[in-house]
Copies of this chain bind each other. A is one copy, B any other.
Amino acid sequence: MRAWGRLLRAQATTKRELAAELQAEHGLSMTAYETLYVLARADGRRLKRVDLAERLVLTPSGVTRLLEGLEAAGLIEKVACETDLRVSYAQLTDAGFEKLEQASCGHTGSVRALFEEHLDDSEIEQLAELLGKLPGALDEGQSCPRG
């Protein structure tokens, strides 16, 4: 039960710090970063909006609004699907990929630093393990695109 309170506060606190940094250094929101990240690792660097919504834990309308911004910034583009006229893919542009690479090292570094400041390696491993059992955990891979 303490676990829940701590989950809330730990996440809120760390997220706030990291978001501020990401914003200051690269002009990206946390969610925008996550978006570029999942797109970069997706097949063909594109994803249906609906899949994006699931991965980012956002509603479809949230995705629409998010992508509006990213498209305006030239980091992604809208690509129509040939076989289903309803779906439009979010396609990572080269600029978007570069942006991600620029932001990636700094950001993952900060995340790592923040965790390692408070936990040792095996504890982090344990934590990942435990959190992985909670809902919302779809499998992912490593930290760096092109890594």
Tally A residues with Cβ within 8 Å of B.
44
Given A7-B10, A10-B7, A133 and B118 contact (CB-CB distance below 8 Å): yes
> How many copies of the polypeptide does the oligomer hold?
2
Q: Which residues of A in the span 108-137 have a Cβ within 8 Å of any Cβ on B?
A: 108, 111-112, 114-115, 118-119, 123-128, 130-137
| Residues 1-23 of A contacting B (Cβ, < 8 Å) | 1-17
Binding site for B on A (CB under 8 A): 1-17, 34, 57, 108, 111-112, 114-115, 118-119, 123-128, 130-138, 140, 142-143
Interface CB pairs A-B, < 8 A, 28: A1-B143, A2-B128, A2-B140, A3-B131, A4-B111, A6-B128, A6-B134, A7-B7, A7-B14, A7-B131, A8-B11, A8-B34, A9-B57, A9-B136, A9-B138, A10-B136, A11-B11, A12-B57, A12-B136, A13-B134, A17-B135, A118-B135, A119-B133, A119-B134, A123-B133, A126-B130, A127-B127, A130-B130
